Amino acid sequence: MIIFESTFPNDYRHKEIGKILDYLVTGKFCQIVCIPGAGKATVLRLLAHNRNLLKFHLKEREGSIRFLYLNLELTDYRDEQIAKFLLFALDEKAPATDDYFVLSKQLTEAVNKLVVQGQTIIFLFDHFDEYQNRIPRSFFQLLRSLKNIAKYKFAAAFATRRDLAEFVDPEILKDFYDFFIGNSLYLKIHDQVATNFLFSQIEKVFAKKLSGTDRKTITTLTGGHIKLTKVLAESVLREGIPLDVETLLATPIVTATLFEIWLALTAHEQLALLKIAQKKPLPDDTVLTTLDRFNLVDQKLNFTIPLLKEFVLSSGPSLVQEKITFNENTKEIIKGPTVLSDLLSPQEYRLLRFLIANQGRIIEREEIVRVVWPDAQVLEGISDEAIDQLVYRLRKKTEDDPNNPKHTQTVKGQGFRFQE
């Protein structure tokens, strides 16, 4: 069976893939970060399936490196199931047991065997941000054990919508900082080789050619964003849809794609985009660093995806200032259409769920410690500073202006009070 990504050209995202490989083949863990639809999953599948591209970058080293594309959404996140999943990925038959010690021992032996044979093992975890808050601590300990055995011949890449330092609890970040800190690569929205290849593949499927004018207009409107470019090109070839902003924003598949980008942003970032689109002053400019890393705006505060700007102007005002609620059936925390729980660390999720359940009531710091750090041996060991830092991290993800919170408010000398 031919894997689609195996047909991609060798110079596809040349500089970015080269940088990722520089990290991985020298034993460094790596994050591949971008907004939804901009191509991080494609990059992982290229590393796993496009041997010609790997030879182009790695030359003679290509044959000794084994890339394994993994999506842990297919597991139930128990320690033993994750270990079995990784054994299966290595073509190892898992023993008929749920004893995590036995399974992890076999996994470390399997990796050690491959390393002794001269192979480098690289795990590629796709959609990691979407399930990271369900991953047990033992997962990171297992990766550390494999790293200790294999040294420079083992690494992992995490594809994520946001820097994982924003997602994981501080205790995980402190103990496994080398997994997340300093090795993040933010994919640019536009890559000309990727765009040209995408157009050629779509034209081949439809057996039709886009005019040069249509190609240029699509690229201008989408800024080269892969998924949005694909949607517009297919709409033109399938339905002959005109490429004007009003028509496109009335096309459900187009607005759904733009909406997906919007939902990946925090409330603070969403409000900032709206202010930028409206050419109004920002509450503060700290958010600009993140928007720049995501490549959503340039240094002159121009949108890199012009169609996103028009979407924000037309829909943004109705999408901000929404209530925060907890869905008892799905266990999701929601602000309007945004699933906030997807953006939260486990500690942030526990805190916000507790605040929602007790809205209007003053919550003392001792209550927060018991809820957020249920395994803490000594409650006094959790400092006021740790609580304040947690509350501020939560505000950055849930408040339009974290410095002037409307939902999680401080009651001086007493604690915190939540309003939905």
- Which pLDDT score, from 0 to 100, does residue 343 have? 87
- Which pLDDT score, from 0 to 100, does residue 402 have? 86
Give yes or no for a contact between 69 and 50, defined as CB atoms under 8 angstroms apart.
no
Q: Using 50, 70 and 90 to split pLDDT, how confident is the model at 330?
A: confident
Mean pLDDT, residues 179-183: 89
Rounded Cα distance, 169 and 156, in Å: 19
Q: Percentage of the chain with pLDDT > 70?
A: 97
Rounded Cα distance, 9 and 49, in Å: 12
Give yes or no for a contact between 121 and 112, defined as CB atoms under 8 angstroms apart.
no
Rounded Cα distance, 386 and 123, in Å: 33
* Eight-state DSSP code of residue 207: T
- By three-state DSSP, how is residue 186 classified? strand
Mean pLDDT, residues 395-405: 87
- Which pLDDT score, from 0 to 100, does residue 320 have? 66
pLDDT at 381 over 80: no
Q: Which range in 25-39, 68-82, 344-358 is most confidently predicted, on average pLDDT?
A: 25-39
Rounded Cα distance, 82 and 68, in Å: 14
- Which pLDDT score, from 0 to 100, does residue 380 have? 60
Q: Using 50, 70 and 90 to split pLDDT, how confident is the model at 385?
A: confident
Give the residue from 342, 362, 348 showing the smallest Cα distance to 396. 348
pLDDT at 2 over 80: no
- Which pLDDT score, from 0 to 100, does residue 327 have? 85
What are the structural domains of the chain?
Answer: 4-186 (3.40.50.300), 190-320 (no CATH), 324-418 (1.10.10.10)
Rounded Cα distance, 6 and 128, in Å: 23
pLDDT at 198 over 60: yes
Mean pLDDT, residues 354-378: 83
Give the residue from 384, 394, 367, 361 showing the smallest Cα distance to 167. 394
Q: Express each pLDDT in 51-94 by its tens digit.
A: 999 999 999 999 999 999 999 887 788 899 999 999 999 998 88
Give yes or no for a contact between 191 and 225, defined as CB atoms under 8 angstroms apart.
no
- Which pLDDT score, from 0 to 100, does residue 1 have? 53
Rounded Cα distance, 249 and 202, in Å: 22
pLDDT at 15 over 70: yes
- Which pLDDT score, from 0 to 100, does residue 328 have? 85
pLDDT at 196 over 90: yes
Pairing mode of beta strands 324-327, 332-335: antiparallel
| Cα separation of the two ends of the chain | 52
Q: Express each pLDDT in 206-220 by its tens digit.
A: 999 999 999 999 999
Q: Mean pLDDT over all residues of the chain?
A: 90
Strands (E), 338-407: 338-339
Q: Express each pLDDT in 280-329 by its tens digit.
A: 998 778 889 999 999 999 999 999 999 999 999 998 777 666 788 888 88
Q: Using 50, 70 and 90 to split pLDDT, how confident is the model at 111?
A: very high
